[in-house]
Structure 1
Amino acid sequence: MKSNRLYTWTDVQNEIYMELSMGTWPDGLTEVRVFWDGLNILAKSGHEEDVVKWLDKIFGSRFKKYQDNILIILEQHKEKSRHLEVIIETEDEEDMEDDSDESYFRPLIARPIVIRPQYFRNEPPDISDVHPPIFAFHSFKGGVARTVHAMAFALLAAAESEKILLVDADMEAPGITWMLGQRKPKLDISFADMLALIHGEPEDEMDETLELIQYRVRNICLDNMFVMPAFRPSARLVSLEIRPEHLIKYSDNPYIITEMLGELGKKLEVDAVIVDLRAGFSEISAGLLLDPRVHRIFVTTLSDQSLTGTCHEIEYIGKLAGSSKGYMPKPSVILSMIPHLQDRQGWKKVDNIR
């Protein structure tokens, strides 16, 4: 087989993961584990041939079967060929057990080690009647005025007598935090503190922890807004010991970030929670971006890098965590810093975002 495309074991993992997200797994397939040196599959007894046909359909000419050996051909260099050996094991359905913490979807970018069909079947419950709405501002790249738009949205709502909780969740370049420090030198609580307090907290003590957080946040109020900085002043340049993905990965509730922010907003009696996320598609922002209950607002300019990246990002998020139910708001896009468009080419860029 000749191909100029680099193809590694992570490409195999991605192909299988996306097939799962689209619901195209064969009924007899129950588990897949992809490693650098092999592809291990667990199937129900009697469904081995269905799994083989499915692999053949996905990988096409890269799929090779030699008697009892099944291979996925990877990248090649000169005469040397690399491949993944496929091992299919079977088990009677009544003997199968599912006690893995990775059986169900978690809003993370990292792929689970064990991929199972039920991974995408735990849609989060409707919380629209319980918590105030959460608006998460995100951008594929920095420098597109995402933070400016998040603050403008918050200030406009506050000016119309709406009570707002504004959260700086940009843990690498916390613009709101730096601006806030000019007016409030003493900051009593931060988003980083919230993560640390919630991490490892027993469920029956979570309400008491949120009471502590909301008590501190009430001391940071500006222009009818409560503001939670990313860090306290003394901790701006230290490492982030507890990151959002730590909570998501190890909590019994994979949507803990969304629901704790919602519960905090409820305790503060605000009308909305507005969050400024870190630019780039990373685990720092994934918890909210991959929760379809969040109002996800993407900010982009018309530069090719920003616009193309935003389109790919929205498409990817749509496959993993699309707005499939009525209580799940559709994503929004803000086109920022638009120049005067004098030709049709410029307007075509605007149409592409649709």
Structure 2
Amino acid sequence: MPEQEIKAPEHIYTWVDVDAHLATLAADKQWPDWLHECDAFWDGLEMRISPQASPQEALSWLGDKFEVGSTTSHEGETVLRLDDVPGQPSARLLPLSVRQRTLEPPRREPRWRERHIVRGLGEPLPHPESPFPGNVRIAAMHSFKGGAGRTLHGVALADAIARRGDRVLLVDADLEAPGITWMFSAHSRRVDFGYEDFLALLHSSEDGRPDDAVKLGAAYLPNQMIDNVIVMPARRSLRDIAPPRLEPTDLLTPERSIYYLTESLAALADRLGARTVLIDLSTGSSELAAPILLDPRVQRIFVTAVSDQSLYGTLRTIQELGRRAPTRTDDPASVAVITRFRQDGRWEPVTKAATLLRDAITRMLEPSIQEGSDRVTLEPLFSVFQGQLPALPASWEEAVDLVRRRHVAETLTSLVERLAPPS
């Protein structure tokens, strides 16, 4: 496909619009080789370029890319004019500076919005060098929009794997609306160790190792096991509904692996004797989910309805994951679960959604293996709407009983077989 020129946004109000446009150009590989990094903030934009390029060349390129707010000179300073009230000359100016220097490529990290706007945004994140500790399998349930049944299918999947005799570590990583935590905490069930505890222990590690988090988690979590499912709720108490004190991206410090969180969860599962970790993530494009979704060793399970917002938000998420963290030959295949449709309803939207999702997941494969490869892409799974399911019972036991009676796990059989270790 030929490269398409990306036009500047119609309105450039602040440095945020400048920053976003430069990031879009970088992701589409439309930065020149001599442009290393751009940092925009409220009081100016700084460009860092190769010593072989000139500041005039940099400013000329910037002016070409911003068609509405063009670069100009103001009181001896080069500025970018920002939008003002229509019909009036703009007095809103963003100062520009250019520095020539040789820079080491900055560390890329699994975030939706990375720290610096650099030319490398057009390349995937570094691929992990080895499998998870203990060959633990990690899967993550994700929905772009709430209400699609992500938590419901996560509970059903964990229960189905556990009923085969395999121990599962089920993590409620939805730190904003922790559904599994509510179910598990019903009827005063005791919680001694939660996901927020795990994050805090990892964050406080001075040597970048997860030893304390793994040791304490392994000591307390067995008390939170029900029928071979070890539940790690989001937090110990539901009295606190405030935003989390720590987020997974807070762990992304220079002394730690960029995949520190997922590797630490695998180490904890290995210590607990669980071969499978199943993670219930926050909805949408959340940084709470990014460090997990952007690890290609994680089996990504996308739960979506056929409504436009749910479906096309999911497709955009898959597309972005394919650009940032494509699937390689040894990585687990991603899969979509299509929900919230009726057996006796119109099937055209369902089959259309299945085709779009299958094609999008196929394009998540690294370009070198998309063609001429025997790589298997998992077909989307269909979970027909059942009237009893949207209103989940309050307690864990009642929720598990419901998904068993309604045979929810039968729609996930292929996932159960992939995630449950061979006997």
Give 1:326's match in structure 2, choosing from 320, 329, 332: 329
Does the C-alpha gap of structure 1 residues 261 and 31 become closer, same or farther in structure 2, counting only changes over 3 Å?
Answer: same
**Secondary structure of the equivalent of 1:283?**
coil
Give 1:26's match in structure 2, choosing from 18, 26, 32: 32
- Range that drifts further, 213-222 or 304-313: 304-313
Does the C-alpha gap of structure 1 residues 267 and 127 become closer, same or farther in structure 2, counting only changes over 3 Å?
Answer: farther
Look up the match of 1:77: 85
Look up the match of 1:241: 245
> Any idea what the Cα deviations from partners look like across 1:234-285, whole Å, max 9, x if unmatched?
7654653222222235763232211111111111222210000112222211
> Any idea what the Cα deviations from partners look like across 1:72-116, whole Å, max 9, x if unmatched?
55434221434544332223x4xx5x4xxx92122223441x433
Inter-partner Cα distance in structure 1 for 2:197 and 2:335: 30
**Secondary structure of the equivalent of 1:326?**
coil
Matches within 5 A, 1:266-285: 266-285=270-289
Inter-partner Cα distance in structure 2 for 1:56 and 1:4: 13
Inter-partner Cα distance in structure 2 for 1:227 and 1:132: 17
Give 2:62's match in structure 1, choosing from 46, 55, 59: 55
**Secondary structure of the equivalent of 1:34?**
strand
Structure 1, unpaired ranges of 5+: none
1:168–1:176 contact (8 Å) kept in structure 2: yes
Aligned pair 1:106/2:112, yes or no?
no
Aligned pair 1:12/2:6, yes or no?
no
> Any idea what the Cα deviations from partners look like across 1:122-176, whole Å, max 9, x if unmatched?
5142332634121111111211110011111111111222221111111122111
1:265–1:272 contact (8 Å) kept in structure 2: yes
Structure 2, unpaired ranges of 5+: 1-7, 360-423
Inter-partner Cα distance in structure 2 for 1:46 and 1:83: 28
Aligned pair 1:232/2:236, yes or no?
yes
Look up the match of 2:396: none
- Range that drifts further, 330-339 or 270-279: 330-339
- Range that drifts further, 159-168 or 237-246: 237-246
Inter-partner Cα distance in structure 1 for 2:304 and 2:29: 31
2:125–2:324 contact (8 Å) kept in structure 1: no
2:304–2:337 contact (8 Å) kept in structure 1: yes
AA at the equivalent of 1:90: Q
- Higher strand proportion: 1
> Any idea what the Cα deviations from partners look like across 1:286-326, whole Å, max 9, x if unmatched?
22122222212111111122112222222233333333x32
Look up the match of 2:117: 115
TM-score normalised per structure 1: 0.84
TM-score normalised per structure 2: 0.71
1:188–1:216 contact (8 Å) kept in structure 2: yes
Inter-partner Cα distance in structure 2 for 1:275 and 1:110: 22
Inter-partner Cα distance in structure 2 for 1:69 and 1:308: 44
